[in-house]
Structure 1
Amino acid sequence: MKTVSESLERLGLSVPPTKPASEVPKCLPVSNPAKCFWQSEKHKLHDHRSTEELPPHSDVVIIGAGYAGVSTAYHLVKEASDSIKSITILEARGACSGATGRNGGHMRPDLYGHIPTYVERGGVQAGAEIAEFEIAHVKAIKRIVEAEKIDCDFTLSRTIDVWCNEESAKKAKAVYDQMLENNFEYMDDVIFYTGKEVEGICGVKGAKACASYTAGSMWPYKFILGLIEVILATGKVNLQTHTPVTSVTSDPNGGVILQTARGKTHASKVVYANNAYISGLLPEYDQNIVPCKGICCRITVPEGSTAPLLNNTYINRTEDNTLSYLVARSDGSIIVGGAAAKFRNHKDQWYNNVDDSILIDSAKDYYNDYMQRTYRGWENSGAKVDNIWTGVMGYSYDSNPHVGEVPGKPNQFVLAGFNGHGMPVIWLSGKAVAKMVSENIPIEQTNVPRLFKTTQERIDRARSGSEEEGDILGTGNAKATKP
């Protein structure tokens, strides 16, 4: 795998020289991300620093101020024992400027799509654990948004999975039937449709099958910054933005020393919540979690026009099996992204690439006229792309997140590798990591699915395997053993 520096040089860019070249980690965010609709109005805490200088010591330092880092901090503040008195969050750029602040805002549990793979790898119960864990996020996020009064456009709706390819539709129905045979209780919320009425039910042209179940959507940037307001008000949390961490080393006297572009700080415990960029600080994850770019955009209709009503969120699969996710917003605008099938063969544009200042060239025009091509009633809407951007996600070798204590490194914890599916995974994973950090308990005493546990075996399997054997490139061949 090429280093980030090599990738950026190929694109005519460079990593900001905050440290001598020999000391700069290979995986840092670029300093000039492209504009993104969600962040069009920067929050007052976007560039916040709680203190002029870094605190000399914290009980816990969290690397990353996105969904994973802020979720962990929130649960440490709200639920941890008195043993955790000080928490520092270090963020390389502005708060929530990475993947969380650039995603589609779609909180959609996966109730059947990948569950058969998890069942095969870990058994029926392991598959059910993941599905039920994701489902629990929808209600958990609704509760926290209401409890903390966070204005983030959170909405509950039905999500509609659509298949326009006949063969894929038949396979999807077979998976649905398999999930019913497993007697998963959560499948009571799923309705699967086939037949001539499908197109009329989902509104997607050429649909051969569709399925419906409960999901949510939100303005992700506003959600995270709302949480940051809450935790900073407690006085326990020190936020330091524009402070990239360049190395983490064990202190012989206990704890760890974190070197940043602005000096050093010490922590009793550290949480790596920097997702796609984790291998720059933990090189053992360099094949396990790979930075991969995706594409997302906002579509609007001309001023003075009224957009045709869509009440659901969507996962659409075209006849050539190009997948897109879609969220319809109350203002009539559409957030849509995906289209990985259009750029998958152009690896240099997305794979092991952290430059979110440049669009994925092979897919940047895909969503022009997307609504007119895809949905009934949108043919004369005049809908067009208003803003398009890219974001850097962390894709894991075996398609499961890495959660828990870093093998062989006591008091160092990881929460990363969400495969572009972090919205219904991270909140309760952060809660579990906070519990592990504050109560010194193993991950088995939390409700994190067993297949999410980071282990030396998973690390070694990825490092000894090839790219083609992993799930990142879409081959679905990741070798895995039962836990």
Structure 2
Amino acid sequence: MPISCTDQTTTISPNSTCYPVANPLESFWQTETHPLSDHRSTSELPLETDIVIIGAGFAGISTAHHLVKEFKGELGTTPRPLPSITILEARAACSGATGRNGGHLRPDFYGHIPKYIERSGPRAGAEIAEFEIANLRALKKFIEEENIDCDLTLTRSIDVWCNKQAAENAKAIYDSMRAHKFDYMDDVIFYTGDKAEGICGVKGAVACASFSAGTLWPFKLVMHLLHKLLESKSVNLQTHTPVQSVRSDEAGGFFVDTPRGQVHTRKVIYANNAYVAGTLPEYAKNIIPCKGICCRIAVPDGIRPPLLNNSYINRTIDHTLSYLVPRSDGSIVVGGAAAKFKPFREQWYDNVDDSCLIDAAAEYYYNYMQRTYRGWEDTGAKVDTIWTGVMGYSYDSNPHIGQVPSKEGQFIIAGFNGHGMPVIWLAAQELASMVSRGVSFEETKIPRLFKTSAQRINRAKLGREEDGDIIGSGNLPTTNP
């Protein structure tokens, strides 16, 4: 069983310089090793490259993929010579949040949408839901066309409320979304009363809702993309190469400094999510590294567990939220429980140490299936793998995507609030057009609230922690639900 922070002989404090630790806990998704995990395309760093991408997770690898497609003319663009692209990763490929999440491709239909509507109007809120739904469809189409083995499943995702007041609030939000006449809400079904528990199978459920979503094995998807990229010969991957700084030269280019030397480039893309403030200090209060917890639950050999066809977001009577993804082998991937560790800020807030668990929630998922789902009482289901991950939570709950303000030639795609899987694929495609063809943010299909800007940066710099969404509104770490 993984150690907890308090089990270690030395105290580990949050890394204020925002660099990942060297020895993260192993997640279930990474138990199958991959030959490219520690790959370096060349023994030495290239001295020159056209584009540097910092981060080899879903955001960085997807952006590289779409850049290659852009230059090949496969996205409706004019074919051009492929640029040289160097991907710098501080640890192993896909060892960060992407390789440690819950495997959920779950669009936000109504969860945070009312907050965005209140701030910026109905259309701004609807843009986010519609973009995430389009992201699910586009990624499903791509995975099927490429025949990628990553356990993609299109399913229904079920929201469950066991607290009566919370259920009533949820129903009011559902009704308000319907009142806006958003087309996508036609996919949502809401149940209350006696029907709820029978439909969702969760003990004590007083309301539930369902809509279309997906699940997959994220590590396998990213490593497939990476393999294809390296075949193109225009992409150079350098793992275990943390970026220490990015410096401008006199000709409009940049020197990217690492412990192994420097790389000179014309453009830099920051796709290192929770760690972005280590090289872009202006984002220090905008994107905060926050830890979450996730685990795999399995039944003993020879036991057939009750069938679960849906993914879930469960909320207990005491408001503890968990996300859950069933797998074809009968095991369950489940995480969250942020309400249990919220009071212990030092264990999760501004903390990059994914080598140890969050003590306050380390045992929460023991017997979770037995106490939560009807029919699981005698299955012997137990946690067989448990891990933690570091996510990038933004001050206002929205990702930061686009050109870094006042830094021409530098771009960012980070701050996904534990919700990157439903956003990144299409966001990376649109960012690639900005990088390769100079397309403005406003010309892309990215929701307007995702645009990084000086205004957003300054709002977080000047604001109080308790006024932001991370602390102030209960937008707690859920490890990519």
Flag whether TM exceeds 0.5 (same fold): yes
User: Are 1:254 and 1:268, in contact at CA under 8 Å, matched by a contact in 2?
Assistant: yes
Structure 2 CA distance, aligned partners of 1:69 and 1:470? 27
1:481 counterpart residue number:
none
Change (3 A) 1:333 1:476: closer
Structure 1 CA distance, aligned partners of 2:137 and 2:44? 39
> Matched residue of 1:473: which SS?
helix
Structure 1 CA distance, aligned partners of 2:50 and 2:39? 21
Change (3 A) 1:83 1:284: farther
2:52 maps to a residue whose letter is V
Indicate whether 1:65 and 2:63 are aligned. Answer: no
Give the number of equivalent residue pairs. Answer: 461
Indicate whether 1:271 and 2:262 are aligned. Answer: no
1:292 counterpart residue number:
290
Cα root mean square deviation, aligned: 1.5
1:21 counterpart residue number:
none
1:20 counterpart residue number:
none
Cα displacement (A) at 1:382? 0.5
1:419 maps to a residue whose letter is N
Cα displacement (A) at 1:56? 1.2
Cα displacement (A) at 1:429? 0.9
Cα displacement (A) at 1:130? 0.2
- Structure 2 residue runs of 5 or longer lacking an equivalent are 1-7, 72-78, 476-481
2:363 counterpart residue number:
365
> Matched residue of 2:251: which SS?
coil
Which range moved further: 138-147 or 263-272? Answer: 138-147
2:427 counterpart residue number:
429
1:11 counterpart residue number:
11
1:36 counterpart residue number:
27
User: Are 1:295 and 1:389, in contact at CA under 8 Å, matched by a contact in 2?
Assistant: yes
Give 1:139's match in structure 2, choosing from 127, 137, 140: 137
Cα displacement (A) at 1:27? 1.1
User: Are 1:45 and 1:95, in contact at CA under 8 Å, matched by a contact in 2?
Assistant: yes
**Over 6 Å off, 4+ runs:** none
1:156 counterpart residue number:
154
User: Are 1:469 and 1:476, in contact at CA under 8 Å, matched by a contact in 2?
Assistant: no
Cα displacement (A) at 1:254? 2.2
Give 2:123's match in structure 1, choosing from 117, 122, 125: 125
2:478 counterpart residue number:
none
What aligned pairs does 1:272-351 form with structure 2 within 5 A after superposition? 272-351=270-349
Indicate whether 1:49 and 2:47 are aligned. Answer: no
Structure 1 CA distance, aligned partners of 2:204 and 2:174? 21
1:77 counterpart residue number:
68
Structure 2 CA distance, aligned partners of 1:462 and 1:449? 20
Structure 1 CA distance, aligned partners of 2:390 and 2:209? 29
Change (3 A) 1:123 1:9: farther
Cα displacement (A) at 1:191? 0.4
User: Are 2:400 and 2:414, in contact at CA under 8 Å, matched by a contact in 1?
Assistant: yes
Structure 1 CA distance, aligned partners of 2:474 and 2:290? 16
1:217 counterpart residue number:
215
1:168 counterpart residue number:
166
Cα displacement (A) at 1:83? 5.7
Cα displacement (A) at 1:475? 2.2
Structure 2 CA distance, aligned partners of 1:474 and 1:110? 20
Cα displacement (A) at 1:13? 7.3
Structure 1 CA distance, aligned partners of 2:288 and 2:360? 20
User: Are 1:84 and 1:438, in contact at CA under 8 Å, matched by a contact in 2?
Assistant: no
TM-score, with length taken from structure 1: 0.93
Change (3 A) 1:260 1:9: farther
User: Are 2:14 and 2:351, in contact at CA under 8 Å, matched by a contact in 1?
Assistant: no
What aligned pairs does 1:373-388 form with structure 2 within 5 A after superposition? 373-388=371-386
Change (3 A) 1:295 1:474: farther
- Structure 1 residue runs of 5 or longer lacking an equivalent are 1-7, 16-24, 478-483
2:204 maps to a residue whose letter is G
> Matched residue of 2:471: which SS?
coil
User: Are 1:415 and 1:430, in contact at CA under 8 Å, matched by a contact in 2?
Assistant: yes
Cα displacement (A) at 1:11? 2.5
> Matched residue of 1:245: which SS?
coil
User: Are 1:165 and 1:318, in contact at CA under 8 Å, matched by a contact in 2?
Assistant: yes
Give 2:206's match in structure 1, choosing from 205, 208, 211: 208
Output one character per residue of 1:72-124: Cα deviation in whole Å (capped at 9) or x when no partner: 00000112352651111000000000000000000100101111111111111
1:235 counterpart residue number:
233
Output one character per residue of 1:31-57: Cα deviation in whole Å (capped at 9) or x when no partner: 000111110121111011111111111
Structure 1 CA distance, aligned partners of 2:454 and 2:82? 28
Structure 2 CA distance, aligned partners of 1:13 and 1:444? 41
Cα displacement (A) at 1:333? 0.3
User: Are 1:400 and 1:417, in contact at CA under 8 Å, matched by a contact in 2?
Assistant: yes
Structure 2 CA distance, aligned partners of 1:460 and 1:61? 26
Output one character per residue of 1:126-185: Cα deviation in whole Å (capped at 9) or x when no partner: 011000001111111111112222111011000000000000000100000001110100
2:95 counterpart residue number:
97
1:475 counterpart residue number:
473
What is the percent sequence identity of the aligned residues? 65
2:84 counterpart residue number:
86
